[in-house]
Amino acid sequence: MAVTSEPVLAIDVGGTRMKGSVVDAAGRELHGCTRPTPRADGPDAVVEAVVAFAADLTARAGGVAAAGIVVPGIVDEDSGTAVLSANLGWRDLPMRSVLEARLGVPLAFGQDVRAGGLAEVRLGAARGARDALFVPIGTGIGAAVVLDGRPVSGSGFAGEIGHLVVDAGGAACGCGLRGCLETVASAPAVARRYAARTGRATPVPEIAAAAGRGDDPAAVAVWAEAVDALAGVFATCATLLGPEIVVVGGGLAESGALLLDPLRAALDGRLSFQRRPRVVRAALGDRAGALGAGLMARERLQAGVGSAR
Amino acid sequence: MAVTSEPVLAIDVGGTRMKGSVVDAAGRELHGCTRPTPRADGPDAVVEAVVAFAADLTARAGGVAAAGIVVPGIVDEDSGTAVLSANLGWRDLPMRSVLEARLGVPLAFGQDVRAGGLAEVRLGAARGARDALFVPIGTGIGAAVVLDGRPVSGSGFAGEIGHLVVDAGGAACGCGLRGCLETVASAPAVARRYAARTGRATPVPEIAAAAGRGDDPAAVAVWAEAVDALAGVFATCATLLGPEIVVVGGGLAESGALLLDPLRAALDGRLSFQRRPRVVRAALGDRAGALGAGLMARERLQAGVGSAR
């Protein structure tokens, strides 16, 4: 159809940066750029910045047929609502209708991690998989639970893997619980736990490398605890959902085999009859969210205005 | 369509009994009966018994338009395969094609727990829910994970909630792991753990009642451990999937408020930002599996032969 051959606009709105793309029908990026997110200026300023960014990208593209915009937090794709996006200061905002009215094109509004999972399943490391988990590990730890080829949303609440408790009575988490996965295995947690043992502020890649060499007991211990916590959570997902593949992304995945090799071994030891998922590194890096937003925009066009996904 | 107004056949094949129904287009049971499962005679005998039971029910109904047959274990609905059904001695058997050829009508072949979950969502305690968990607790503990109104299968591996580890290093489980939920919160586990403390073989309802009265420290402790393990697993599901409702079934649910009241309180204490699911008792009892099989048969008809679900 003619309409779906026109380019679409995709924006991944993060807590510090917005990544924007204009994507053609073949998935090629015709234009891409980033811009700061004016988080400190309040939630309305973020809305205005997204609208201005979208208008500029649209003008450069000479018009777009649809837009996909994804944000962090609890996002209900079906109603197009930002239920709770702490990084943007948004709460219970009907962003799809607000942005659609401002932009004047059909809009898909979704969550960044689920968009990234959609992109990894369609275009990236999990291409062709039907049941998959996409787990970006960075400042936080999220997951896209992909079942039958689609990320599931749970009205926005699905995939909060970073808040599975792995160490009952452990460190306090920002969510109010104790011992969440994020308190053990996120990048800041690894750095903090290493500093607590050694008194040294050390970049995570150095901790990972030292753990790999085995010559630094503190690094070995902290890294093993992170790996073990992740393996436990992946075993939980394997038991509950039976994914074929787990795609690990985010900053921690940049450690490559230093993370994935022990993670595969630890996961293997925690499963019996369950389907054993392949554990692989993400392929799309920090472009996954915007690529997923582009896919969502394209689907929105194909499905017509009645569906946001 | 005329074809879908004809009755369908539904059989829930358990390890000891088969439950059969003939169901009209309005979901009314026109005829129902049970028959033993000849498990001791081997896997082929079970197949023959299912075929004979189906033939008898079909004859009494004067013909059926389709059949739904559900069994325990790891079942891949999409390929119609019994991947591993230990209770029936079946392994990697293409039961849908085998039974469809023998019965001569379109057949939906599925897993008993997922069928039960479908029935509870369409007809029972979770009626109208979109994202739900159905958890029958009896000799084992299974789950149907219902997302967007449909049980998810994970090629047959989804929903093995009974084998989430709740007590690392705990009692050996039949699956080969240690400390699985089933070793703490299944009906036999509750009885066994109570007997280990007291030396007394005691029916689970009596243990539950004593725990409720608070006058038997062993009962209080064993029941609290079971409740806590279940609450932990439900919190995991809430965090990962965001269900609106958890439907508790099976023998343990017959304890009613003695189970559900402390379970709700324990779950509440384990959640922060997550959607808090309602925790309710199943409505359909041991008819859930057969009712679900009937729904699947009806859907098989409506979708045509191309889809088994």
pLDDT digits (tens, 9 = 90+) for B121-180: 999 999 999 999 999 999 999 999 999 999 999 999 999 999 999 999 999 999 999 999
Where, residue-wise, is CATH 3.30.420.40 in chain B? 2-116+287-303, 128-283
- Please tell me the distance in Å from A236's CA to the nearest CA on chain B: 6
Residues of A in Cβ contact (< 8 Å) with B241: 145, 152, 154, 157-158, 240
Q: Could you tell me the end-to-end alpha-carbon distance of chain B, in angstroms, rounded to an integer? A: 19
* ipTM score of complex: 0.93
Give the number of A-B residue pairs with CB atoms closer than 8 Å.
122
3-state secondary structure of B48: helix
Max distance between CA atoms of chain B, in angstroms, equals 62
The CATH H-level (homologous superfamily) assignment of domain A128-283 is: ATPase, nucleotide binding domain (3.30.420.40)
User: Where is pLDDT greater, at A303 or B102?
Assistant: B102
User: Where is pLDDT greater, at A264 or A87?
Assistant: A264
**Digit-coded pLDDT (tens) for A58-84:** 999 999 999 999 999 999 999 999 999
Report pLDDT for B28.
85
Report pLDDT for A2.
45
Alpha helices in A10-42 (DSSP H): none
Measured between alpha carbons, how far is B85 from B166 in angstroms, rounded to an integer? 24
Is some CB atom of chain B closer than 8 A to the CB atom of A174?
Answer: no
- Please tell me the distance in Å from B13's CA to the nearest CA on chain A: 22
- A2-116+287-303: which CATH number, 1.20.58.1180, 3.90.230.10, 3.30.420.40, 3.40.50.300? 3.30.420.40
Report pLDDT for B305.
53
Measured between alpha carbons, how far is B243 from A155 in angstroms, rounded to an integer? 9
Measured between alpha carbons, how far is A2 from B278 in angstroms, rounded to an integer? 47
Q: Rounded to the nearest 10 degrees, how much is the dihedral formed by the CA atoms of B275, A109, A185, B132?
A: 30
Which ranges of chain B have pLDDT less than 70? 1-4, 305-309
User: What mean pLDDT, rounded, does chain A reach?
Assistant: 94
Q: Is the pLDDT of residue A52 over 80?
A: yes
Report pLDDT for B91.
93
Q: Which of A281, A273, A77, A39 is nearest to A159 (CA)?
A: A77
Tokens found for residue B21: 């129904």
Angle between helices A187-198 and A217-241 (to 10 degrees): 150
Is some CB atom of chain A closer than 8 A to the CB atom of B84?
Answer: yes
DSSP state of B306: T
Q: Name the band, by pLDDT with cuts 50, 70 and 90, for residue A28.
A: confident
Report pLDDT for B248.
98
* Rounded (5°) CA angle B182-B168-A237: 70
Q: Name the band, by pLDDT with cuts 50, 70 and 90, for residue A29.
A: confident
Report pLDDT for B27.
80
Residue burial A205-242, b: 16+ Cβ < 10 Å; e: rest: eebbbbbbeeebebbbebbebbbbbbbbbbbbbbbbbb
Q: Is the pLDDT of residue A122 over 50?
A: yes
Q: Is the pLDDT of residue A57 over 80?
A: yes
In the numeric block, the tokens 């007997």 are attached to B195
User: B290 to each of A37, B52, B82, B134, B231, how far by Cα in Å?
Assistant: 54, 17, 17, 15, 28
- Beta strand A245-249 pairing with A132-136: parallel
DSSP result, B54-75:
HHHHHHHHT--S-EEEEESSEE
Q: Do B236 and A237 touch (CB under 8 A)?
A: no
Q: Counting Cβ atoms within 10 Å, is residue A169 exposed (0-12), middle (13-18) or buried (19+)?
A: exposed
Report pLDDT for A4.
60
Mean per-residue pLDDT, A261-285: 97
Q: Is the pLDDT of residue A190 over 80?
A: yes
Q: Which of A199, A301, A191, A291 is nearest to A251 (CA)?
A: A191
